[in-house]
Amino acid sequence: MTLRSRFGAFTPARIVAGDHDLSGRNVIVTGGASGIGIETARALAAAGADVMIAVRDRVAGERAAQELNQSIGADRVVAGTLDLASLSSVGAFVDAWGDEPLDILINNAGVMATPLLHTAEDLELQIGTNHFGHFVLTMGLARALMNAAEEDRMARVVQLSSIGHRRSGINWDDIHYRTRAYDKWEAYGQSKTANALFAVGFSERFLDHGITANAVMPGGIMTPLQRYLPREEMVAMGWMDAEGNVVEGFKTTEQGASTSVWAAVGEELEGEGGLYLEDCSEALPWTKANPAKGVMPHALDPEDAERLWAISEETTGVRL
């Protein structure tokens, strides 16, 4: 049975969080200084959670935390330094957090359609940041997540994926474009497939330890994620008109944060893991008739999830 909530595609995140008392719960939101990340943090903090926004630019993070605290009228948001394109930075963040109970980890940060660039460990930047960085982060925080799990409530990991996963599965022969021609959209699609597969693999390993993980497609939203795209390309893709006006159907950043918030707190998802969610519901299978919605089989394939998990351990040196 497909899981559904009472919310819709354009429900604001604050409404999704509104009925919940998150007092005493700890949350980390990566990339929480802008875009849907800051609105995810705002909604959860307004509901009472203590939120750390984990960001590469600490100055921007401190500024965002101050704005968030002012907007909710309470000091519940702090900033932490995290560069997902550097595994040493990820390790330092994990060490700084320690074993303090972590109720919700929202792996929100990401890059999209970049030129061919590489992480500090010489991984292709998109999958290196979007997947491998979050893999090391989540595994490093697994003990903290287990420490937050209670008899009647599991800890949760929320993985930001995208309909972009339809562009590519994992290219097992050359993940990092060492020998093949680089395609920025294929690389993005591969990284978003990896995000969904990680939720499958993580839930398989940690469900019995009190943690679930689900992937989220937030929808079409104009955010800093589009920083590498010229206007001409976005016009050609049908995202905006020639004057730069965003087309109908795109969400606001607060609406775009709603499925992340539902994945973090929705009662319907208690004990449910390895799912792909969109518009505050479990996604239906992708079809050609509605190509901007749904999930393709390769993003939820358990054998691919196991294969990716093995490669992730080998690449990062992080193992159970």
- Cα(280)–Cα(261) distance, integer angstroms: 9
- Cα(219)–Cα(258) distance, integer angstroms: 10
- Cα(251)–Cα(221) distance, integer angstroms: 5
What's the Cα-to-Cα distance from 81 to each of 43, 91, 230, 240, rounded to whole Å?
A: 21, 11, 29, 34
Q: How far is CA 47 from the centre of its chain?
A: 20
182 catalytic? Reply is no
- Cα(263)–Cα(27) distance, integer angstroms: 13
Dihedral class, residue 34 (left if φ above 0, else alpha if ψ from -120 to 50, else beta): beta
By the 8 A CB rule, do 32 and 64 touch? Answer: yes
Sorted by sequence, the CB contacts under 8 Å of residue 65 that are 6+ apart come out as 53, 77, 78, 79
Q: Which long-range contacts (CB under 8 A, 24 or more apart) does 287-295 make?
A: 291/166, 292/163, 292/220, 293/163, 294/163, 295/165, 295/196, 295/217
Dihedral class, residue 134 (left if φ above 0, else alpha if ψ from -120 to 50, else beta): alpha
- Cα(316)–Cα(87) distance, integer angstroms: 8
- Cα(117)–Cα(124) distance, integer angstroms: 6
Out of 177, 182, 188, 276, the active site residue is 188
Q: Which residue type occupies 153?
A: R
Beta bridge partners of 277: 216, 282
Catalytic site positions: 188
